[in-house]
Amino acid sequence: MKLPQLSFVLAICSAFVLCAAEPDTADLRMKFAPNDTLLYDWTINAVSDSTGKEKEKNFTLAADSTFTMTLVLKAMNIRAKDGTPVLIKVKDQTYHDKRSVENSKTDLFVAKGKMKYVENDKVVIDSDNDIGLDKFQAYQQQLKNIENAEMRATLDAAGRQSDVQGEPSLVDAIKNGGAQGIFPILAGREVKLGESWEDSFAMAKIAEFHLARPAQVRSKMTFSKWEEKNGRRLALIDMLTVWDSKDLKGENDDGMLVEITRVDGRGAGTCLFDPDSGRFVEGSITFNLRYRIDGEKDGQKSGLDVNGKTRFSFKAQPQAPN
């Protein structure tokens, strides 16, 4: 009897091991145990280049801002019908903002116990050198108010928020920290390798403008593959988003009414999810958004063409041993 070639046997064995190591489904549901505490490092970077006209003068505007924070989620030992109630706080915030309009430029850095603001190369506030301390204290109080605040929400198996309550400034900060909510939306069930699911969410604000009717953003997630990391088998999820291109109307805090047209928004990213623990490990998504703003205030018309990019990223901090 002729024996099979060794290479053929090895190929069969390799295929068997691969199939055994990588199941064709993943349980993509968030899981919380009572009093679980999860910490995530969040970074939001936004850059934009805009051109416009105000008071019959053309101008260009460039902006680059980075906001970081630690997001703390603690599962509350309370029963809920539609998910797990969690207590949410933020700490260790930093904010760095650089802007330039024609020949004018500013540079602002704020963190706990530290602040520096430079305008056209002139130091206006510098906490390390006791310059502008009255303005410094006002900014520090804002940071303190957010870090002392709490927010409560119920997260379902897909990560959707409901029953959101808490300090408005904290709620807004977290809403702006991830577009759909705290995390990307999961399927909330067993998913086959290569399978996709869809979701949509509303954006109530663009830049500094509160929208009369929220902008709708459609998203599609796909369980693309398994990825090994630190000895764990993680599900890699691809994310794609598209903004509906409808014209919008908005208003800023100064009462300026605007029309927002030519909306073209798209996003793409990935995240890693651990099905065994039911927790996100890390992720990032980048949004590219173009639009036109036209407004009028006190009889003066202004227009701005905006080309912006925002990147949201998060990573779980290592869990302390029990």
pLDDT in tens, 19-38: 445 679 999 999 988 889 99
Does residue 12 sit within a domain? no
Does residue 9 sit within a domain? no
Cβ–Cβ < 8 Å for 147, 171: no
**In this model, does residue 167 exceed pLDDT 70?**
yes
Q: How many structural domains does the chain have?
A: 1
Q: Average pLDDT of 280-295?
A: 93
Supply the pLDDT for residue 320: 58
Q: Which helix (H) or strand (E) is 209 found in, with range?
A: strand 209-229
DSSP 275-303: TTTTEEEEEEEEEEEEEEEEEEETTEEEE
Supply the pLDDT for residue 225: 97
- Tell me what the pLDDT averaged over the chain comes to: 85
Does residue 14 sit within a domain? no
Mapped onto helix, strand or coil, the DSSP state of residue 45 is strand
Residue 169's Cβ-side half-sphere holds a number of Cα atoms within 13 Å equal to 10
pTM of the model: 0.84
**In this model, does residue 116 exceed pLDDT 80?**
yes
In one letter, which amino acid is 27? D
Confidence of residue 17 (pLDDT cuts 50, 70, 90): very low
Cβ–Cβ < 8 Å for 236, 224: yes
Q: Average pLDDT of 240-265?
A: 92
Confidence of residue 260 (pLDDT cuts 50, 70, 90): very high
d(CA 109, CA 115): 6
Q: Average pLDDT of 63-83?
A: 89
Q: Average pLDDT of 92-104?
A: 92
Q: Average pLDDT of 40-59?
A: 87
Which residues constitute the domain of residue 197? 25-316
Does residue 19 sit within a domain? no
Supply the pLDDT for residue 67: 92
In one letter, which amino acid is 151? M
CATH at residue 179: 2.30.230
pLDDT digits (tens, 9 = 90+) for 190-238: 999 999 999 988 888 887 888 999 899 999 999 999 999 989 999 999 9
Cβ–Cβ < 8 Å for 162, 156: yes
**In this model, does residue 13 exceed pLDDT 70?**
no
User: Quick one: which of 21, 76, 64, 9 has its CA closest to 232?
Assistant: 21
Q: Average pLDDT of 126-132?
A: 90
Cβ–Cβ < 8 Å for 284, 270: yes
Residue with tokens 């145990």: 33
Does residue 97 sit within a domain? yes
Does residue 18 sit within a domain? no
Neighbours of 110 (CB within 10 A): 21
End-to-end Cα, the chain, rounded Å:
59
Does residue 54 sit within a domain? yes
Q: Average pLDDT of 263-288?
A: 95
Does residue 17 sit within a domain? no
* % of the chain at pLDDT higher than 90: 54
pLDDT digits (tens, 9 = 90+) for 144-160: 887 888 889 899 999 98
**Lowest-pLDDT range of 35-39, 47-51, 165-169:** 165-169
**In this model, does residue 315 exceed pLDDT 50?**
yes
Confidence of residue 173 (pLDDT cuts 50, 70, 90): low
